[in-house]
A and B are shown apart, each in its own frame.
Chain A
C-alpha cells in the first residue's frame, strides 16, 4: 500500500530540507522515494501544513522505580488530572508524574513518536522496561546508569585492565537492555552512602579513592572505544548548587575532546554573584560549549508551576529536600548500584531563584550556536512536565512573547538576566533539529528523526499557526510506522512502540567475574539480573530494535 502526503511544507534537517513544499510517500511503514508512475492507494492532502518527522524526546523520566515512587507519593498530582477510558484507550491520571498509559497517549497527541528514559538503574532495569512497556504509542529506550556502582568503582580502585572495564560497560548495556550509558553525580551516589555530602570534580571518594574526573573520562573513553553512538550522558557534580558553574566549565575541559553529553545543563550553570549569591552562568557555559564540538547538551528548562524532581542523585536530592513542596520526599540507597531522590517542587515566577533558573535556561538556548548539539528538554518532570514543550517552543520562537513572559517574573531576576536583550528567534528548521534530527543523530537512530527514503514513517503534520504553542500542542496528524495514530489531537489507533537498544561487543570472560561478584555480594543472581529479550517481547508485548554500534577499538 502506497500512501502519499501531498503538498506539505517539509522541515527535514537531517536531509537539509528547510521548508520545501514536497510530497512524501510511505509504503509498508517506511518512507520511499517519489515515483510518479507508482499507483497511490491513499492520498492525504496536507497542503499548507507543516510536516516534520515524529518528535524524539532524548531525556524524559517516563519509567522506573523513582517515577513510581513519585506517583505513589503524590496523589494530589493526579486528582483533577484524570483521563477517562474510551473504547480504545485505558484510563489514567497525572500532571507532573502521569501514569504510564496517560504519558504515552499524551506524548503521541503532541506529535512525539519516541521517548528515552535517561536514568535506568541496572538493578531496576526490569521494572523500567515494564513501565515503558505500559507506555504505548511511542518508541522507547533507556540509558543504563553507571559510575556509582560498586563493581565499576572496585575496578577503578584496583586499576583494573581498561579492556575489562569496557567489557563491563558493554555487558551492562546488554543486561539492562540499554541504548546508552548515563553517569549521575559521578561516584557521588556511592559516596553519599559513606556519608560524604559533596563530591566535586577532583575530590576523592572516601572509600574508593577515585574522583569524578576519573570516572567521567573512564566511562566516556570506554563508550567511545566500544563504538556506542550516544556519548556518555552526564549529570555532573553539584546539581543545583549555586557556584556549580565552575565545576561545569572544568568538566567540559576535563573531557579534553572526549565525546560527552551534558544533561539538564541549566541546573549546572549557577554562579554566586549578587545580593542573593545566585547568578546566571549561562554566558560562560554557552561560550565554552560553542568552542567544544565534542560536547552536546540538553537544557532541562524549568517552567513555573507544580512538578516533582526525580533523580538518581541521592546525594544532591537529599540536599534539595529543604525546598520540597509539598513537604515530603524520598531518598534511597540502592543495591550497591545507585540511588534515587524524589523531591516535589513548585517553581514560582515570584521567587528570585526560580525566576532566574527560568531565565538561565532560556539564555543557554539563545546563546548556544549549534542546535545540532542542543536538545529541547525540561528534564521531565524535573524542570517541568513534558506537556509544557509547546509553551517552551513558543518562548524560543517568539521574542515578543518571551519579553511579555519576562515581565511577569521576579523583578530582580529580570535585572539579573540578559534574556531581555537576546533577539534570537528559533526557526522551525532549528526546532526540527532540536526535537528530531539532533536527538536521532546523537542516539544513533539511523531511521528515525528524518523523512528521507528508508526512514521509518513516523511523521507529524501541524497546521501552521503563528501561535507556535497552539500549533505544537495539537498536531493535525501523527503517523507511526506509516499508520495514522492521531488525528486533530485525538488518538485514533493504539500502537505499542519498539524498544531501542545498542549491543556493543564484550569478551564473555567478564561474565565469570560478574557471576562470582553477584554470588558473593548480591541478592539477585547473575542469571536473573539480566533482562531477557523474551521479557520485552512476550510479557511487555513489545519489540526490540538493535541499533548498530561501531567497531570496538
Chain B
C-alpha cells in the first residue's frame, strides 16, 4: 500500500529540480497545478500560472538578508531577543499585516494571546465587506469546483478578476471540461459594474458576455433593481445608466438559470456602501433559491487573509479584529481595526507580518516602535526597531493555506533553500522568550 505522503522537498542542494502540482500562494484561488523549476536557486514557472504568480515566484530574493536591530545587522537570536523585549514591555502590541499561512497565523495567535495584543489583517477592510453580511443574515455560497462544474450563469459584480484572481476565467468559468450540462454548453457571463474588461473574458466554454457597465457606486442600486424585478415590482426606469429592460432581462436570466453564481472580490469593491452590494447579492441569491438554485462565491483570500481569518475564528471565535488585552478574546470590528488604531494613536507597539513578498503589504507609517517580520526587500519608510527577514510560505518553506471559498486548503512546499527564517519559528521563539 503506497502511503499517501505529501510533498517532495528540494534535494540536498535544493537546486535544479522541477516541482509539479505546486500550490501558488499569491492569490486566494491557490491554483495547485503549477510546474516550477528551480535552476540554481532561481525559481521559474514552467507551466500554468499567471503574471501575478510569475511576479511572486520569479522575484529574486535576497536569500542572505540579515536581521536588523535599529537598522544595523544583527544575529537572528539577538533580533528575536530584542523583539521579545519590546513585546514584553508593550501594554498593547498591535499585530498587523498577518500576511502568512495557517502555521504562521497559529504562531501569531499564540504570541498575541500571550502578550495581550490585537490581531488584524492588512486586507481586513475587504474581508469586513463580507463579515457584516454573514453576521447579520448569512448567505448561500458555492466553492470553486462546484462552480466550475455546475454554473450556467456567472454574474461578476464590480470586480476586475484579471487583476485580483487572474485565472478565474480560465480555471473556473471556462474549464476544458465540466461534469454537468452538454459537452459544449456555453456559460453566460454578466459583468456588472466596471469590473473585468469584457475583452479579458475569454474561453471555449464562455458563450454570451453581457457587459452592464455602471459606476461602482451605482452597483448596490442596480442590484436592488434586479431584486425588485425578481419580485415582479414594476420598473422605475433606468438605474445607474442601465435600462429598465436590461435589468428585467437580467432578472429573467437569473430566474431561468439552473445554477447561477454571483462572484465578487471584496478587495475590488472599494466604493462607499460596498457591504450593501454584498448584502444585496446575498438577498438575490436567497430569493432565487425559492425556485431554482443559485449561490454566491466570494473571491477574497489574497495575502493569506482566508487563513488568518479562519485560524483566528477557530481559535478565538472571531474573524480577526480581536483583542487579547483583557486575557480573553474580545471582538470589535470597529475598535480593533489596526489601521484605525494606528491612525488614532492607540497601541504602543506595531508588529507587522508580510511574508508573501515585499510589495503587497508594507507596514503603514506610524510613530510607534515597530517590529517587521517580512519578506526581504519589504518597503519600509524608516528602519524599524527590529526587522527579521522571513521566507515565503510555499517557496522557502512548507505550510498550508485556506482558499478563498473557506472550504479547501492546500499544502505548500519548500521549493528552494534560502536559509530565511520561518514565521512559526520566529514567532514561536519570541513567545517562548516572553
Contact = CB atoms under 8 A, between A and B. Distances in A.
B145 A528 contact: no
Interface in A204-221: 207
19 contacts: A68-B310, A71-B318, A72-B131, A73-B134, A79-B331, A85-B327, A90-B110, A91-B328, A92-B316, A98-B317, A127-B310, A130-B400, A328-B134, A328-B135, A334-B407, A336-B150, A523-B408, A528-B21, A533-B6
Interface string B107-142: 000100110000000000000000100111111111
Contacts of A100: 314-315
Contacts of B1: 503, 505-506, 508
B178 interface: yes
Contacts of A348: none
Contact of A535 (B143, B259, B400): B400
Contacts of B23: 528
A193 B181 CA distance: 13
A530 B6 contact: yes
Nearest to A103: B314
B113 A90 contact: yes
B432 interface: no
A333 B143 contact: yes
Given A93-B317, A521-B149, A535-B6, A335 B407 contact: yes
A65 B407 contact: yes
B138 A328 contact: yes
Contact of B6 (A192, A195, A534): A534
Contact of B406 (A68, A85, A511): A68
A535 B319 contact: no
Given A73-B135, A126-B409, A521-B177, A334 B146 contact: yes
B53 to A, nearest CB: 15
A78 B21 contact: no
Interface string B318-360: 1100001011111100000000000000000000000000000
A195 B315 contact: no
B334 to A, nearest CB: 13
B155 to A, nearest CB: 16
Contact of B179 (A67, A131, A521, A531): A521
Contacts of A534: 5-7
A331 B400 contact: no
Interface of A: 63, 65, 67-69, 71-75, 77-79, 82-85, 90-94, 97-101, 121, 123-124, 126-127, 130-131, 134, 150, 174-175, 192-195, 207, 318, 324, 327-337, 342, 503, 505-506, 508, 511, 520-525, 527-528, 530-535, 539
B253 to A, nearest CB: 16
Contacts of B258: 194-195
A71 B317 contact: yes
Ranked nearest first, the 6 interchain pairs of A and B with the lowest CB-CB distance are: A532-B6, A82-B328, A93-B317, A78-B317, A328-B138, A84-B327
Given A93-B316, A99-B315, A193-B150, A73 B145 contact: no
B397 to A, nearest CB: 11
B106 interface: yes
A154 B23 CA distance: 28
A327 B286 CA distance: 13
B331 A524 contact: no
A515 to B, nearest CB: 10
Contacts of A92: 315-317, 328-329
B345 to A, nearest CB: 26
Interface residues of B, number: 78
A506 B137 CA distance: 45
Most buried by A among B31, B135, B315: B315
B292 interface: yes
Contacts of A318: 140, 289
B138 A329 contact: yes
Contacts of A65: 406-407
Contacts of A90: 110, 113, 315
A335 B315 contact: no
B328 A85 contact: yes
Given A336-B179, A521-B148, A524-B32, A75 B317 contact: yes
Interface of B: 1-7, 20-21, 23, 29, 31-33, 102-103, 106, 110, 113-114, 131, 134-146, 148-150, 171-172, 175-180, 258-259, 289, 292-293, 295, 309-311, 313-319, 324, 326-331, 398-400, 402, 406-411
Contact of B315 (A79, A101, A121, A332): A101
Nearest to B133: A328
Contacts of A337: 145
B296 to A, nearest CB: 10
A330 B409 contact: no
Given A72-B313, A335-B145, A523 B135 contact: no
A193 B179 contact: no
B317 A193 contact: no
B299 to A, nearest CB: 12
Given A69-B406, A193-B259, A195-B292, A521 B145 contact: yes
Nearest to A324: B138
Nearest to A532: B6
Most buried by B among A63, A78, A324: A78
A324 B136 CA distance: 12
A335 B146 contact: yes
B331 to A, nearest CB: 6
B21 A71 contact: no
B143 A332 contact: yes
Given A193-B150, A532-B5, A334 B143 contact: yes
A531 B406 CA distance: 17
Most buried by A among B7, B171, B311, B314: B314
A354 B191 CA distance: 46
Nearest to A133: B106
A193 B289 CA distance: 11
Given A523-B148, A525-B33, A533-B5, A75 B409 contact: no
A71 B313 CA distance: 6
